[in-house]
Chain A
Amino acid sequence: MVGLSIGEQHFVKGGIAQDLRTDGRKRLTYRPIYVETGVIPQANGSARVKIGGTDVIASVKAEIGRPSSLQPDKGKVAVFIDCSPTAEPTFGGRGGEELSSELALALQRCLLGGKSGAGAGINLSSLLIKEGKVCWDLYIDGLVISSDGNLLDALGAAIKAALTNTAIPKVNVSAEVADDEQPEIDISDEEYLQFDTSSVPVIVTLTKVGMHYIVDATAEEESQMSSAVSISVNRVGHICGLTKRGGCGLDPSVILDMISVAKHVTETLMSKLDSEISAAEACEDES
């Protein structure tokens, strides 16, 4: 991370106060988003998302597993994030672990919703094959290749695109077996089911610099932040998850204002992402 001099810090903060950031954007404008799906052929679904200089890859793998005894009617989803040392030399070895676990936790919170499953982006019951015996385990992996700020939004978008691209093979449960035996399952090679991603939320991170909030902060803007709030909003306009980062305290009215700004920004971001993802899928189908 290149340090900023005092003059540069004033320039960044002053620009944000005047609604003109260092790269010419307004406070609530995103950098151009580029989505590519199907980048990893061995995975059930994958996507690569580039927001400005931030480059992330998300992949979804589905494996046959056993539902947990606490929730026998639901499948399982696990989210892992890896911050590669190619993004930052400090990420090598144990360095990126704290950031990775923080990102994975925030994403898991947004995707899986409350304990009862309300507000979940992924319907866990749809992953079930046979109650109490067989289910799909989804392993969602995110890889950060290049980091220029706003990792959480990029990973959220990549996971959404990867889930849209995911094809889960159809499973036939063959032969009725006794309750305590594992049923035989036949995984089809031909037929696939597309994942339903209409309720997967997008994540918007609002970074507070001075008295104003910006959306999609670059790495140098993030170094000047006092605090950041990441809000995940779904298509209906409900909040699916909220995480506040940064040690500075925020007035409660500021947080409520941030939530309304995030909802407003989500409308444009959701439609932009949807069009990008469908364009990417169309591109992939042609090739």
Chain B
Amino acid sequence: MSAKPGAATPTYSPKVVGRSRLPIFKDSDLDWSRPDGRGFPQCRPALLQTGAVSSASGSAYAEFGNTKVIVSVFGPRESKKAMTYSDVGRLNCNVSYTTFASPTLGQGTDHKEYSSMLHKALEGVIMMETFPKTTVDVFALVLESGGSDLSVVISCASLALADAGIMMYDLITAVSVSCIGKNLMIDPVTEEEGCEDGSFMMTCMPSRYEVTQLTVTGEWTTPNINEAMQLCLDACLKLGEIMRDCLKQAASASDE
């Protein structure tokens, strides 16, 4: 990767994102202990860094435990001549996995829709009217897939867009929650995702306290959904603060 401590861009030190709320489910029901020893409502420590790709308009690198993602943003660039005139900007998203991203070579087919899901998450938050006739390209590359890949990609993409100076209504943060039996765990790793009974992925704008994208699979009772939503909102607010700190640090470092 790019800058190491001591160089122009300081490495953002990981901070344990912990919840102060007590979990609603009783600890005595625990029949699943998390592989990395976290509590159920505890997210992985996040490492966020901007300016990872110097040739891009904006870029960001995110490391959430074993999930490592790099996103670069190119644009606004002239739209291809074949495309019709449009008085709002266009967004083009692409999410790809490296061949070494997962322990087994080759990927499952369920990652093809990540590009369109990233597009849907970003299109509501970017002010497209500010760059008419042009296209903004967002390319995400998952270097290592350690669980909650799409959430990390979305958060990292919004950081990269902020780094590129694209106008947005707010930063967006995404968090996912897995349901295994009676337990809800936030920010699941690959092993937990492989045997989950349900998954809940939420993308929200922390400052405006609005949900922009919500995807739920599996069977959920209404109290579980309430609990999952509350967990996600808490985590999104905290992650939003961490992203803001990262951007402020990058901005102040470039001022020096």
Contact = CB atoms under 8 A, between A and B. Distances in A.
A242 B203 CA distance: 13
Interface in A232-280: 234, 237-252, 255-256, 259-260, 263
Nearest to B209: A251
Interface string B20-47: 0000000000000000000000000000
Contacts of B198: 113-114, 118-119
B214 A260 contact: no
B120 A247 contact: yes
A260 B216 contact: no
Contacts of B137: none
Contact of B195 (A115, A242, A256): A115
Nearest to A201: B219
B218 A114 contact: yes
A246 B120 CA distance: 8
Interface in B202-221: 204-205, 208-221
Interface stretch (B61-69, B138-146, B225-233, B247-255): B225-233
Interface string A76-112: 0000000000000000000000100110010001001
A114 B222 contact: no
B245 interface: no
A256 B197 contact: no
A229 to B, nearest CB: 7
A260 B225 CA distance: 11
A229 B210 contact: no
Contacts of A241: 216-218
A252 B219 contact: no
Interface residues of A, number: 35
A157 to B, nearest CB: 20
B211 A249 contact: yes
A260 B210 CA distance: 19
Given A115-B195, A249-B211, A240 B222 contact: no
Given A246-B124, A247-B124, A252-B233, A119 B214 contact: no
| Chain B CB within 10 A, most for which of A102, A243, A248, A260 | A243
B221 to A, nearest CB: 5
A287 interface: no
A18 interface: no
A114 B213 CA distance: 19
Contacts of A42: none
Contacts of A256: 225-226, 229
Nearest to A240: B219
A239 B225 CA distance: 9
A116 B197 contact: yes
B196 A251 contact: no
A22 to B, nearest CB: 27
A259 B214 contact: no
Contacts of B116: 98, 101-102
Contacts of A248: 124, 212
Interface in B166-182: 179-180
Interface string A133-168: 000000000000000000000000000000000000
Contacts of A255: 211, 214, 229
Contacts of A98: 116
Given A105-B113, A249-B210, A263 B222 contact: yes
B219 A118 contact: yes
Contacts of B124: 246-249
B197 A244 contact: no
Interface in A16-57: none
A78 to B, nearest CB: 10
Given A101-B116, A249-B210, A114 B219 contact: yes
Given A113-B217, A251-B211, 9 more contacts: A113-B219, A115-B218, A119-B197, A119-B198, A238-B221, A241-B217, A247-B212, A249-B204, A260-B222
18 contacts: A114-B219, A115-B218, A238-B219, A238-B221, A239-B219, A239-B220, A244-B212, A247-B212, A248-B124, A248-B212, A249-B124, A249-B211, A250-B212, A251-B209, A251-B210, A252-B209, A252-B229, A255-B229
Interface of A: 98, 101-102, 105, 109, 112-116, 118-119, 229, 234, 237-252, 255-256, 259-260, 263
